[in-house]
Copies of this chain bind each other. A is one copy, B any other.
């Protein structure tokens, strides 16, 4: 859709690889004291002093992870960064730098890549991270994005997935299901548009969930909040593949079980009403819907008074011994075994 239909646009071939990287990254400035040397040499140089270095990487593929027919390129640039920062925050760390690599068909005009990098720049500014490297190359088809995020953490603050203990409380940030339902709304509008290209979609009633899909945020604020509250999660993970799948990761890696209470799962009113409209069960959506980028963590019960009543944090269950397994306790008070509803990109 964004490939070059307009011959007046600037072709990538004229710039070449070096010119392109230079052009796209010329307005990025280094703001982190740990960024010694950014783009422009064989490698970047960073100085994390006595802190530990945190590294995470992700690959996003057009037609698999995003659809340019409803994802504006600026939002895509923003979201590509967010997805990676979320992994750094999930270690209870601060994100400090990113590298962004892009493979695009040479039929994308330069202006499209500028849009993408404008989104990257906005995320860098919002989250105070520096763009310190990357690669830009051609692809034989479509667009592919690879982001690596770096961060720092004090050793005592690290939250692995492995530290949850029986009786720890299970806590989630924000609310769930919005990103998945936002995608359903966008997919529906795309089908309507195919039939009638003159239709004007009214997305206003869905603005919250569409934004959760197109412009998600990562929970940098939660890492800062936990620091302030003096709470160190015993285990933490971010919700990229659905609540259910992430709970099972925590249980598996910490060797514990879990009781998750259906009536505690935080849902926005838009999620509830849109789920009804689509004839879907909102609990199933919260359990299986990916791309939320909320944080899921466990805390010692002794820390409960510190987080009680905080509007950003909801206790949704507690951990048990491994032998008890992982269950959803429904509103009707029956126990159902939790199964991964994680998104599998290799499935059909």
Check A151 for interface membership: any CB of B closer than 8 A: yes
The minimal Cβ–Cβ distance linking A19 to chain B, given in whole angstroms, is 9
The minimal Cβ–Cβ distance linking A38 to chain B, given in whole angstroms, is 10
Restricting to A103-149, which residues have a CB under 8 Å from any CB of B? 103, 106, 132-135, 137-142, 144, 146, 148-149
The minimal Cβ–Cβ distance linking A218 to chain B, given in whole angstroms, is 11
Closest B residue to A90 by CB, please name it: B42
Say which one of A91-99, A179-187, A192-200 lies at the interface with B: A91-99
On whether A148 and B57 interact (CB within 8 A), knowing A43-B91, A140-B62, the answer reads yes
Query: What is the bound-complex CA distance between A17 and B15, given in angstroms?
Result: 37
Say which one of A220-228, A312-320, A339-347 lies at the interface with B: A339-347
B91 touches A347 (CB 8 A): no
B101 touches A161 (CB 8 A): no
Interface size on A, residues (CB 8 A): 76
B139 touches A41 (CB 8 A): no
Query: What is the bound-complex CA distance between A56 and B215, given in angstroms?
Result: 28
Say which one of A47-55, A68-76, A204-212, A274-282 lies at the interface with B: A47-55
Check A2 for interface membership: any CB of B closer than 8 A: no
| Candidates B40, B57, B103, B135; contact of A133 at CB < 8 Å | B57
List the number of copies, as a whole number.
2
Q: Mark A319-348, 1 if CB is under 8 A from B, else 0.
A: 000000000000000000000001011111
On whether A345 and B53 interact (CB within 8 A), knowing A42-B90, A91-B43, the answer reads no
Check A88 for interface membership: any CB of B closer than 8 A: yes
Please give, as numbers and ranges, the residues of chain B lying within 8 Å of A268 by CB-CB distance.
Answer: none
The minimal Cβ–Cβ distance linking A160 to chain B, given in whole angstroms, is 5
The minimal Cβ–Cβ distance linking A172 to chain B, given in whole angstroms, is 15
Check A150 for interface membership: any CB of B closer than 8 A: yes
Q: Mark A294-309, 1 if CB is under 8 A from B, else 0.
A: 0000000000000000
Sorted from nearest, which 5 A-B pairs have the closest CB atoms? A146-B146, A43-B56, A42-B90, A46-B53, A63-B140
